[in-house]
Amino acid sequence: MRSKLAPVLGLLVAWACCVPLAAQDFHWIGAPGPAAWPPNPTCQAMLDAPLPGRGEPLFGVDAGAIWLARSGATPQTLVVDENNNELLNASDLESDLASGVRITLDFFNLSDDYPGCDVQARYFRVQGIQSSETLTSTQVVPRFFGGVPADPIGTVTSHYDTDLQNVEYNLRYRHARTPGIRWLAGLRYLQMEEAFRFDTTNGGAVPSGFFSDARNELFGVQVGADWTFWTNGRSRLFTSGKYAVLHNDVDGQARAADAAGGPLQIHYGDQTTSGLFDFEIGGAVAITRWCSVKLAYQGLFAQDWATATEQSRAFSLTTGNGQVSYADPQFHGLNLSAELAW
């Protein structure tokens, strides 16, 4: 990753240092907590600890923001100059952080007969994960779906945009012998929409250039675990990992104009099995008996997803021939939220 993620890593290090400073006594999960701390429902809910005088299931809400940045695409030459020198490679299209909303609902200890069983629903959406580059030379030659411009172009602006949407439903279980660990299994739906284009309008009123879109609709099952590996009853450090096996329904298109000014357009589609590894690590500090503030690193590591840039070398815009090509995009960022428990 490039230096764009340096502020993210720095913020995580600072947060990790602050959480232990809020503690009066460091101990691992399973050891008795410091008696000086009053019971905190949020921390106890996460650890499945009993609440004094409360027998009904506990309800939790985790609401806040998520920021994600996309790593560079699979390397390939996208733009050259008049001497065939590379001006832009797909690996250069690393985005800045884009923000979105993230909401999680938890129903803890659903049954007295099966203590430690929870149901969790989560939703997040991040739009506008984007990068752009303006390239100027005597001749700028985009390589787009097997073709190049018929006439010389002096300036081209590339745009690469990604939108992500996620919905998941999990059943989680904590065994009494492994306090702090919740095993989970569930269903997951994701949608990734991408737009990749070369804009040659150069300030003109009518958009012109080369345009492509790719859409991945993914649905499947996932397994994983949440682990609170340290707590003092008021603060905690945690991590989680989930792996999803997903059916991926892909469709997309590309369009431009031929030498005579006529439109060229192709559509493509495919289905495959894709994967996703979802990783999170961070800390939470209680500010009241029912509310904690949480900050964590968020990483999404996809396998066999159809990105918009990858299709540019997989299809020919003039003949329509080609086969959907898959890549392994990555998204890195942060989530910041308030955890509420009743």
pLDDT at 173 over 90: yes
pLDDT band at 51 (very low <50, low <70, confident <90, very high): very low
The per-residue pLDDT for range 230-250, each reduced to its tens digit, is: 999 889 999 999 999 999 999
- Which of 15-19, 72-76, 121-125, 238-242 has the least mean pLDDT? 15-19
pLDDT > 70 fraction of the chain, expressed in percent and rounded: 80
pLDDT at position 34, please? 38
pLDDT band at 206 (very low <50, low <70, confident <90, very high): low
Separation CA 110–CA 321 (nearest Å): 54
The per-residue pLDDT for range 158-170, each reduced to its tens digit, is: 999 999 999 999 9
The per-residue pLDDT for range 74-90, each reduced to its tens digit, is: 899 999 988 889 999 99
pLDDT at position 24, please? 34
Q: Please compute the mean of the pLDDT values over residues 320-327 and round it to a whole number.
A: 94
Q: Please compute the mean of the pLDDT values over residues 262-279 and round it to a whole number.
A: 94
Fold of domain 3-341:
Lipocalin (2.40.128)
pLDDT at position 226, please? 95
Judged by phi (left if over 0) then psi (alpha if -120 to 50, else beta), residue 35 lies in: alpha
- Of the chain, the end-to-end C-alpha distance in Å amounts to 40
Residue spans of beta strands (DSSP E) within the chain:
58-70, 77-81, 86-89, 98-108, 117-136, 140-142, 155-173, 181-199, 209-231, 235-257, 263-286, 291-303, 330-341
pLDDT band at 23 (very low <50, low <70, confident <90, very high): very low
Q: What is the mean pLDDT of the chain?
A: 84
pLDDT at position 60, please? 92
